Structure 1
């Protein structure tokens, strides 16, 4: 094969998306889009062969489209030597003029542990700056702080096995059915096999609330109050484990007194959380009577200005009942990114040193001696939001961004993007050549762009939510001049005169040093210990099987659970109860911003879509940015389902498609985080999120920002399909009110909305959007009906086409997609792009419901009408819902809608 693979070879690696850490087997397949097909690894203990829709589509995302393939310095192609010399000189000069704290790194939970380790060693040991933070600050920092305050260490106590053995699963602020679908399937399997009950605590009804035992639609920001009330109820029910508390903990009396004062009765809790007293009582009774309880929490807890307090309230309940460290019970933090845990292990957060050590004098000395550091950082650095505010203020002058897109993902993203342009030196290590952080075109703000290795080319390790280290192995050669991130960092270290400290021969050497540091002067005093791997040779590294830490010297296998012996990592070995603060919103709605904005992920996309956006399969489910609004709010603000709305506040604005959703909490709206200026117009939701953070963890509040909403008048809707994308400037000049691009087979599609346009202007409008002259344009229109279609055909092949309808109708365009890759159109077939549907008259498959098998809404509805009366029957007929299962809630809604119609 072209890349040197053979049909019978396969490579075991790990998925690069969420923190579940699923094992993936990549197999050469000449029929696959880029020659490789992804399958679940049946031997991996995280997923046992299952993959979600994103993992199943990995083979569609590894092509060369848009790759950054060579270094670029000041907008011009450069050699690696020139780029690295520029970075080293820039760091040296900046430190000489402004001091070491003027230099910073912003890393990502999607880079490998080896990359993270070298970055932290370079910055904290040899540049003298602890300004090294990560986008994991945006998703996991409150859990980290909560763990450390209660346990003395950032330790997740349990394992995925507990999800199989629990009798009660409580999910708090987690849409696991969409965001952690493989774990959700394990929970569902437990429910079917053992009768486990499931409670979901979430202000909105999501795919995860479908068909469960209890949904508590809690008021935003009141999670801690609910768990404080639970702590009181468990004491009254005699469910506190007095022996465990007295022997292994400190501080329950203070925590209980505060909880009793705030949440002493079920009625008080109900009033404070917006729940019914009967709902609260049912939940409290379930927890009281079920010893094997696992509480799983995610971004709805962490992404809050009171995130650490919410974590503390959850941990307090498990400590008070002794439900920790034993099978089927314990608090469980669901990690957002594939290597958020690995970054925490090596000091990826600005307030940590490597190997789970803090900035204590003893740890600073220990790490400095191990590294032979010449400029050891002596205090914590700036956390993410503070770091970019320091960039804006000019106190941080040089910044290296690696594997993340902060101009989209950080709060007040417009300020962040503007701040990047003020740096004396901005270095960006990236896989792609264009995103909001790089800036459009070579004249963007990044002074140095480094072509990084992508998934499929990287070699290293990641750690999942259950502390399991897995290998990411390369199965494709590095394209162009792309190089691993750890290598680029080490080369800068050498250029700064620290060659011996950065003389890593390969990723295995980095991992060995990382493991050795974890064991250095440890002796069981620290939770993180990989001493058994401190001398792992290259062959052992290449063959490394998934393993949980801690794995001290001499151990053959890691520990699934910690704290089963009641021993914690505090100075006295006891866990510490915490007293949460008073529940309150960071900012309350007012007349100018009467709604609360809640942000999050959707099922088939990842972060800013630089990878998932390349997949035609993943683009079919929800192809454009949207905002979910409760029906009563939609009526009040004059919004229509399928129309456009403008969200705004003093930080920014976005124009999004309206989805009227009964499951959305009244007074709140939900919008996804994935769209950027690189793939849509006016859809960067991070621009609206206020830069309000938890005072302990520094994690931003991303679930409750006040916003205003108003309808946007639309003249007509359009879909443009083509082999290449129309330039966004053309869309802007054409007056697009909103647009979003999605990848389709053999090309791209842009879904757009425009103001009114006179029929006489339609041909010129189409020529501009399709990139052709009048002689190359074929068109047909019906001004009375507001319908227009046009096509650019060259040498019989369809280059691009546009379909337009007067709003609120949306044009059908499914029949246009196969025409892009079709053989030359001859005779009457040349008119096919101007038709409203395929010549054969087949139905439009509709939006994708099951991404794993590419099953649309239309065939599912047809199967229901012809006798399929259950998700199982639809699965047997169409295969929909039989892989990761994240589409099952949508299938059940279609079944319910058909029953209502009947």
Structure 2
């Protein structure tokens, strides 16, 4: 690509972001020709309705947006959407409200000589961005700048960012905040199935006669999925494996409150008992898997008695769960952050996959080893962000794959890196070591969310230049930035998200972004222009142009989406699950089935077509409670009204009424009595890394020796212990040693 200085004259800039009167253009819904908008919602009248996929979590609910004078003024859940069937959680109902917050970033902000952020125009902002990053690269090498992406922006924007940064700007290192939630599941699926491929559809919640939830508080984390469970007509057995008596565990027919981080031992024990009793599908194992005999031999020592001791569970309760799994005709296994955010999460996820494989519970309705995603577009990030793998699920290390992508994008193959990026934690290490000096953070808030917060803050302060691109100027990360780029949010731009069940859904622009804020897509166009990258970026005028490029890059991959004609098809179908190859289409009006599972034929994505049994000896976590810090810290979702770092949910007065704005620490009554704690008493919770002030919430939902803090609070990560899964490099947020100190 060209590295020449781009034409930055007023005429050239006008084509990108300026109107003839010199003011920033506002690509409104009522001006469809400017930004590819209006094409999809054309059948919606200015005072009618249109549909859009929700932008909060990975459920991917459909919303009806009610328009007045062409802009959305209200919303309701879409009754014909195959995901939510007319339901919405509190966050979905408040999706428009959060756009009106007073702390929206409305203009670029650049840090001056006085160390304070001050408004500048877009021209100054983009010149500063490119000049600073190019100067760093000139002095320290191309790899001295990196980016941290997100599961919050459109797939097309992720694709644009990843290709621009790596193929145009010369960056090698870039990762996403999906490393914090889904990396474990990605690696587990790749190693077991040959590709990152969650096999299920949400209909399986209603088809199972046994549902096993491991480290998942589905009722709170994904309320609409839980509603689908409640619609199950089969009177299912519900098994919850979780140290806490969560809202989901309260409704379970079987709850195993195991000792924290003993889940791998428990799962191996369940597998061993099933094998010893002959309660397995030997034919399925022989036809469709490899490595079973080695797995069988490796877990012989995991006896019921050993599990009862290690996991601190009653043996009869373990056996009841084994019998329920055996008796089930359609058993589905589900996991979320309780598994993923662990020091040995990949092997734990694979232990769940092993149970599904050995019992033949995969590829049929109501079955599967099913990872539930966190963010609205974590699946899009996993496949198309160009971070941990080459776009479309390809491999940077494969010359064949690089040549294919180079050909599809019409770029020199030499522009594509031949090695994988550093992972998120390694990028942070690189900053501390002075190897990375410039960082571009897009739609994520790592100064809040990254593990061991004090160290994270010190790390960001070492950067020569920090660029933060976000909806809000008030985030902890934006406050540390040298340059803030104001971005549009959901509802103010268009693109696609991919949800947990692999469904690609369309979200639309139905309100204008405030001030000078631009869609991330437009900011990336500006970055390409000012950097001087040239083709293919100058050909991507609209998000749908990028969608067509994504399609080409997915061809012949397990995630092939070449059969999706355009945005209109996605809109008419109310979302489409991948894969959908062009060869499956039977005509211009053809629509795929609403529900599509993987592996119905027992064929997986390894070269031999078989799934693999994978296993490893359980290891204890890196930090254990001890005399000085005797309590074990657990973290997780607080309520259905909170989300991630509360960057968005805290902006809604309605959502704020649904959770405590005071940090509460859950303490078991026995521990409260030992420590002389009273309900709502203010205390200090301390770990070797920091301390927080909280009020005591005395509850039996946590066992003695454990305390719980909500992950959403801005203080919680002062305490968390920075340990990472060996294979996924995902942080283990749910284990640390703490103590509670009474206020004097």
Q: Same fold (TM over 0.5)?
A: yes
2:491 is the alignment partner of 1:449? no
Shift of 1:57: 2.4
Counterparts of 2:234 and 2:655, CA distance in 1: 33
Which SS does the other structure have where 2:618 is aligned?
coil
Aligned to 1:553: 582
State whether residues 237 and 288 of structure 1, in contact with CA within 8 Å, keep that contact through their aligned partners in structure 2: no
Counterparts of 1:675 and 1:238, CA distance in 2: 47
Which SS does the other structure have where 1:514 is aligned?
helix
Describe the superposition over 1:97-138 as per-residue Cα deviations: whole angstroms up to 9, x where unpaired: 222221111111111111110111112223343321111111
Counterparts of 2:615 and 2:485, CA distance in 1: 46
Aligned to 1:532: 563
2:215 is the alignment partner of 1:182? no
Counterparts of 2:29 and 2:294, CA distance in 1: 63
Structural mapping, 1:198-347, within 5 Å: 198-261=238-301, 263=302, 265-347=303-385
Aligned to 1:505: 541
Counterparts of 2:618 and 2:225, CA distance in 1: 33
Query: Do the aligned partners of residues 256 and 710 (structure 1) sit closer, same or farther apart at CA in structure 2, a change above 3 Å counting?
Result: same
Q: Of the candidates 465, 471, 476, which is equivalent to residue 500 of structure 2?
A: 465
Query: Do the aligned partners of residues 585 and 397 (structure 1) sit closer, same or farther apart at CA in structure 2, a change above 3 Å counting?
Result: same
Aligned residue pairs: how many? 685
2:403 is the alignment partner of 1:365? yes
Aligned to 2:138: 96
Shift of 1:567: 1.2
Q: Of the candidates 88, 102, 109, which is equivalent to residue 51 of structure 1?
A: 88
Describe the superposition over 1:847-889 as per-residue Cα deviations: whole angstroms up to 9, x where unpaired: xxxxxxxxxxxxxxxxxxxxxxxxxxxxxxxxxxxxxxxxxxx
Aligned to 1:841: none
Counterparts of 1:485 and 1:55, CA distance in 2: 22
Shift of 1:79: 1.7
Query: Do the aligned partners of residues 276 and 541 (structure 1) sit closer, same or farther apart at CA in structure 2, a change above 3 Å counting?
Result: closer
TM-score (norm 2): 0.89
Aligned to 2:51: 12
State whether residues 408 and 687 of structure 1, in contact with CA within 8 Å, keep that contact through their aligned partners in structure 2: no
Is the radius of gyration larger for structure 1 or structure 2? 1
Describe the superposition over 1:714-767 as per-residue Cα deviations: whole angstroms up to 9, x where unpaired: xxxxxxxxxxxxxxxxxxxxxxxxxxxxxxxxxxxxxxxxxxxxxxxxxxxxxx
Which SS does the other structure have where 1:470 is aligned?
strand
Aligned to 2:452: 412
Aligned to 1:833: none
Shift of 1:495: 2.5
Counterparts of 1:247 and 1:255, CA distance in 2: 16
Counterparts of 2:739 and 2:716, CA distance in 1: 13
Shift of 1:6: 8.0
2:155 is the alignment partner of 1:120? no
Counterparts of 2:296 and 2:220, CA distance in 1: 35
Q: Of the candidates 128, 131, 150, which is equivalent to residue 108 of structure 1?
A: 150
Counterparts of 2:162 and 2:604, CA distance in 1: 27
Describe the superposition over 1:527-558 as per-residue Cα deviations: whole angstroms up to 9, x where unpaired: 1101123x63x655665630000011133426
Shift of 1:494: 2.8
Shift of 1:303: 0.3
Query: Do the aligned partners of residues 541 and 425 (structure 1) sit closer, same or farther apart at CA in structure 2, a change above 3 Å counting?
Result: farther
Shift of 1:176: 0.7
Query: Do the aligned partners of residues 29 and 600 (structure 1) sit closer, same or farther apart at CA in structure 2, a change above 3 Å counting?
Result: farther
Shift of 1:490: 2.7
Shift of 1:497: 2.5
Counterparts of 1:6 and 1:652, CA distance in 2: 55
Q: Of the candidates 607, 610, 613, which is equivalent to residue 574 of structure 1?
A: 610
Aligned to 1:697: 728
Shift of 1:215: 0.7
Shift of 1:370: 3.0
2:543 is the alignment partner of 1:491? no
Counterparts of 2:211 and 2:142, CA distance in 1: 47
Question: How large is the RMSD of aligned CA atoms in angstroms?
Answer: 2.0
Which SS does the other structure have where 1:260 is aligned?
coil
Shift of 1:318: 1.0
Shift of 1:35: 7.2
Query: Do the aligned partners of residues 180 and 541 (structure 1) sit closer, same or farther apart at CA in structure 2, a change above 3 Å counting?
Result: closer
Which SS does the other structure have where 2:563 is aligned?
helix
Describe the superposition over 1:47-83 as per-residue Cα deviations: whole angstroms up to 9, x where unpaired: 0110012112223322141111111122222221221
Aligned to 1:880: none
2:626 is the alignment partner of 1:590? yes
2:554 is the alignment partner of 1:515? no
Aligned to 2:33: none
Shift of 1:3: 9.8
Unaligned runs of 5+ in 1: 440-444, 677-683, 714-902
Shift of 1:333: 0.6
Unaligned runs of 5+ in 2: 1-27, 31-43, 112-116, 585-590
Shift of 1:586: 2.5
Query: Do the aligned partners of residues 128 and 370 (structure 1) sit closer, same or farther apart at CA in structure 2, a change above 3 Å counting?
Result: farther
Query: Do the aligned partners of residues 494 and 10 (structure 1) sit closer, same or farther apart at CA in structure 2, a change above 3 Å counting?
Result: same
Structural mapping, 1:623-702, within 5 Å: 623-676=661-714, 684-702=715-733
Aligned to 1:480: 515
Which SS does the other structure have where 1:365 is aligned?
helix
State whether residues 102 and 395 of structure 1, in contact with CA within 8 Å, keep that contact through their aligned partners in structure 2: yes
State whether residues 396 and 416 of structure 2, in contact with CA within 8 Å, keep that contact through their aligned partners in structure 1: no
Aligned to 1:768: none
Query: Do the aligned partners of residues 227 and 498 (structure 1) sit closer, same or farther apart at CA in structure 2, a change above 3 Å counting?
Result: same
Shift of 1:425: 1.6
Which SS does the other structure have where 1:414 is aligned?
helix
Aligned to 2:196: 154
State whether residues 341 and 464 of structure 1, in contact with CA within 8 Å, keep that contact through their aligned partners in structure 2: yes
Aligned to 1:898: none
2:237 is the alignment partner of 1:197? yes
Structural mapping, 1:797-812, within 5 Å: none
Aligned to 1:353: 390
Shift of 1:222: 1.2
Which SS does the other structure have where 1:531 is aligned?
coil
Describe the superposition over 1:192-223 as per-residue Cα deviations: whole angstroms up to 9, x where unpaired: x2211111110001111123201110111111
Describe the superposition over 1:145-187 as per-residue Cα deviations: whole angstroms up to 9, x where unpaired: 1000100100001111111110001111011111111111111
Counterparts of 2:488 and 2:46, CA distance in 1: 24
